[in-house]
A and B are shown apart, each in its own frame.
Chain A
């Protein structure tokens, strides 16, 4: 009996120490990093309860295990066996049934918390998200422009209508807590209500190929006033870009080209566009060609036609663009000198 009392006290102490230890390591109370959405509230609430449960269950097993190792260890020169205890049906039923109730309680809390994260605001702003290797683009249909930064007004629910151009990606802003895959051939929804003004990043969470780790774009939560200013700027930029070059530049954002092709000469997944028009392209098979209109058109529509030295063509999907769109892009490329 004395053993049980000591172990009982030690379990309580150990549970508390484990919980506060995890808290000191920044792992209890809430998930991390900082919470920046309404959906995070109920998720963080549940996490704290889970950490409490984990701490006490850890103590419940770990303490009697270590206690037995110390107290019931075989001492020097000792022979013989331990007590002949084969089992105890009451005890077995207890530790089958009690955890069953605990599990049901946690599952219920999980369902409740999931319901909270799914709460729909009919006034939610709709933004279209396009994911592709290895960048994100955001289209604001109400205002008619496309951006590589996602700006969201604070305390206003948005629903992202997400599509993928190639493989599966996953939209994750750690501060928002919620994550949703983007699957080719369908539209998936991501519903979020940002609550904290700040600069974050969307990070692709589903392995999507060679440069998966780089698939990060800025996410900015603005005050309503800043958001309105940003929208107005973007609209003005879009309106000013009525020239072919301007249209071409917008298209390279819309189709995600700039995820792999830099305009400043730096090497990304694909060749940089700086000074590309009219330059001589060297291919892996030793041949070469001049990057003229025909070559660029072919490279967009059939990327596999040539393997540029030092790059893998299979990473680029074929794009079916209209002649006008391609002409605009070529006009834009000519400006990159």
Chain B
């Protein structure tokens, strides 16, 4: 326990607490001196909480040591170029590390923790929805200064944003761990910036969770004003949390792009990069250039609340629809940030288990960039009913439907990759295949929403909720699990239990089909999204009960995954070689990966996915290494 309190994680949280109190105290002192009110419903006033939250983030980063090297440099003190590990075992992951593999695992574990919290929130409100009428989130309940209805809205809103942040961290986790290994690099281009990008996400998650106890917010994750301009102080913590998490995303993306451009092995030309690297670049291009807009739009609402600036207040000449444009300019491309790496994992793993080259490698690589580019000009399809100029709806319908083409290229190429293969189906491959089918359902339920006239009916209903969960589960969650099962042996030298992996898959997949198809059906019949209760006359009770049961089964399957994950770290079957018989460079050296990755540099001498071509090689190590592919 003493060791835990000495970790950078615990120290950061302690200093965040101190910083929050100091910042809030400062504003409270100034207000007292000015003769303004000094306390409010949640002890401090809103401006005090906002500055406190902000100072808390700075104190976290200062206090846990993730910026200390930069301060040393500023004072003229040298630090070793190659970071040496001071801690071993679990402690390593709770301290600031510059090793991309440690940071990748840190990201992944925080992502899994947030997935659990977001999932728990979903189960709470899913339980309330199991039958019509309010059961336990009633108006008489009072928790965290909110009645049951407000709490429903808070949990529903936080489910959205917590999951989004957890996906961003999960994406960063996989990219951080895998990309330098695939490139043959010793680390990311900027190891300190990499550590900073991770650690800044931790106080951001704390801020998001603080919103729950500071009155919550009833705006959904979209935070549209004027509703968000009138919500309780919790919404400010939500804005600040997202704003802070955005830094993680932007700086992380910058690092990935620099790493891919500068640190590829000898011979790794653009067309010989592993396909996952293409996906990581495409996703980073979006995260680097679009994240600013959600930060900006939330910041404007923060300022509207704090300083009375009427950006989105019609009474002061502001325009509420402008917010939606700014918000969706990030938040639509953001879904491609979530799914492109997942689709990259699918493309990366399919050839390994189909034992065949990736069909149309260049087309798949280009389709990722194509989706990323088209993704920038489709945002207003979220606003077909918003009251924006109605002629704008047509160009956005055309541009949105165009996304179907690069996405279609991926599907066709995946199927062609499987065709005439010798397909093996261990757990990672099951999740890859599940991901393809689920993403297919998400993709096919998309065009009716992209087409203006059918969207007039479908918009803001459970049809959208079902469609969205299909795209995110197919594009991120299934591939994320596939990646965890696949690279787990690389990180630990042991593999996860196959039996429990298959139980996880076969429990989660059918439940998930039931969940989203059921959502789409009641949405079409008139179930609005984001409602705490529904009209019993609509006759949705049975369906909702089934959806709730399906939700619990998904939760149970993820618990099984967690058990398998943590149990296998110590007790898993030993697997220090090329477990999956892959051609990829990271599998040609023993597991777990040595600290500075490859002891001998490698040269790329062939195509990455030439399975079935006798005598071909992808990489050649300058000195003989163990376990080379036959």
Contacts and interface: CB of A to CB of B under 8 A. Distances in A.
Interface stretch (A63-71, A246-254, A293-301): A63-71
A86 interface: yes
A74 B420 contact: no
A280 B424 CA distance: 76
Interface in B395-421: 397-398, 401-402, 404-405, 408-409, 411-416, 418-421
Contacts of A208: 227
Contacts of A61: 411-412, 415, 436, 440
Interface stretch (B315-323, B334-342, B493-501): B315-323
Given A25-B521, A85-B420, A209 B226 contact: no
Contacts of A255: none
Given A86-B359, A185-B314, A178 B456 contact: yes
Interface stretch (A109-117, A140-148, A224-232): A109-117
Contact of B454 (A31, A80, A201, A216): A31
Interface string A50-72: 10011001100110110011001
B322 to A, nearest CB: 11
B87 interface: no
Contact of A85 (B219, B357, B390): B357
B425 A81 contact: no
Given A86-B361, A103-B401, A117-B456, A68 B526 contact: no
Given A183-B386, A205-B459, A107 B401 contact: yes
A12 interface: no
B325 interface: no
Contacts of B533: 213-214
B150 interface: yes
Given A46-B451, A50-B447, A50-B454, A84 B360 contact: no
A179 B319 CA distance: 21
B360 A203 contact: no
Contacts of A188: 387
Interface in B113-165: 139, 147, 149-150, 153
Contacts of A168: 224, 226-227, 320
B422 interface: yes
Interface residues of A, number: 86
B309 interface: no
B304 interface: no
A211 B530 CA distance: 11
B535 interface: yes
A167 B226 contact: yes
A62 B440 contact: yes
Interface stretch (A89-97, A152-160, A328-336): A89-97
A92 to B, nearest CB: 5
- In this complex, the member of B149, B412, B457 whose beta carbon has the largest number of chain A beta carbons within 10 angstroms is B457
Interface stretch (B19-27, B63-71, B552-560, B608-616): B608-616
A210 B423 CA distance: 52
Contact of A43 (B404, B454, B461, B521): B454
A96 B459 CA distance: 29
A96 B387 contact: no
B422 A80 contact: yes
A208 B227 CA distance: 7
Interface stretch (A120-128, A169-177, A237-245, A256-264): A169-177
A289 interface: no
Interface in B438-474: 440-441, 444-445, 447-448, 451-454, 456-457, 459-461
B421 A209 contact: no
B305 interface: no
Contacts of B416: 85, 87-88, 91
B315 A210 contact: no
A309 B162 CA distance: 33
Contact of B448 (A50, A88, A92): A50
Interface string A28-58: 0001110000000011001100100110011
B433 interface: yes
Interface residues of B, number: 91
Contacts of A69: 418, 423, 425, 433
Contacts of B413: 87, 92
A201 B451 contact: no
Contacts of B613: 84
Interface string B594-630: 0000000000000100111100000000000000000
Nearest to B528: A205
A20 interface: no
A99 B404 contact: yes
A184 interface: yes
A268 B459 CA distance: 28
B14 interface: no
Contact of A170 (B362, B385, B419, B610): B385
B327 to A, nearest CB: 13
B11 interface: no
Given A180-B387, A183-B387, A206-B460, 15 more contacts: A50-B448, A62-B437, A65-B418, A65-B436, A74-B422, A82-B356, A87-B361, A92-B413, A96-B363, A113-B453, A167-B224, A168-B224, A168-B227, A186-B387, A210-B147
28 contacts: A25-B521, A32-B526, A53-B447, A61-B436, A65-B433, A68-B420, A74-B355, A81-B356, A82-B356, A82-B612, A84-B613, A87-B357, A87-B416, A92-B360, A96-B363, A103-B401, A118-B390, A178-B457, A179-B385, A181-B386, A183-B386, A185-B318, A201-B535, A205-B528, A207-B219, A207-B220, A209-B153, A212-B530
Interface of A: 25-27, 31-33, 42-43, 46-47, 50, 53-54, 57-58, 61-62, 64-65, 68-69, 72-74, 78, 80-88, 91-92, 95-96, 99-100, 103-104, 106-107, 109-111, 113-114, 116-118, 166-168, 170, 172, 174, 177-186, 188, 201, 203-214, 216, 267, 312, 314
